[in-house]
Amino acid sequence: MEDILVPIALFLVIGGSIIGSQYFKYRGRQDLQATIRAAIERGQELPPEVLETISNPKRPPKKDQDIRWGLALIGFGLGTAVYHFFLGENGAPNPMVVAGTISFFIGLGLTALWFLKTRSK
């Protein structure tokens, strides 16, 4: 019986997380629209920045986003390498080591991308 509970709980948690995030995003939009509606009813004029934010809610990427992700992935890759060095077995590659190596090289690529972007400006 316990063998089936773990996969069921896993999918319930994943589904609950997705539904919860969508619900809170919906509530945030609903609150924003109620605030704007109240401002319009009171006769206040809305600045163009507010109208642009409503029509295009995506934020522009931060300028240091590449270096942050790159360093985080390098740290994860090095952490899994150290873990495997001290606690791993010799022989066939451990899946965590493969994931760590991939993330390490993706992190190096993002760090190089950040370096090239800042250098070209």
User: Which tens digit of pLDDT belongs to each residue from 79-92?
Assistant: 877 777 777 666 65
pLDDT along the chain (121 residues), means of 10: 82 95 92 87 85 73 78 85 72 71 87 83 67
Q: Is 78 within 8 Å of 96 (Cβ atoms)?
A: no
Q: How many CA atoms lie within 13 A of 71 on its CB side?
A: 6
Q: pTM here? A: 0.49
Per-residue model confidence (pLDDT) at position 88: 65
Per-residue model confidence (pLDDT) at position 44: 87
Q: How many CA atoms lie within 13 A of 76 on its CB side?
A: 18
Calpha distance 106→63 (Å, rounded)? 18
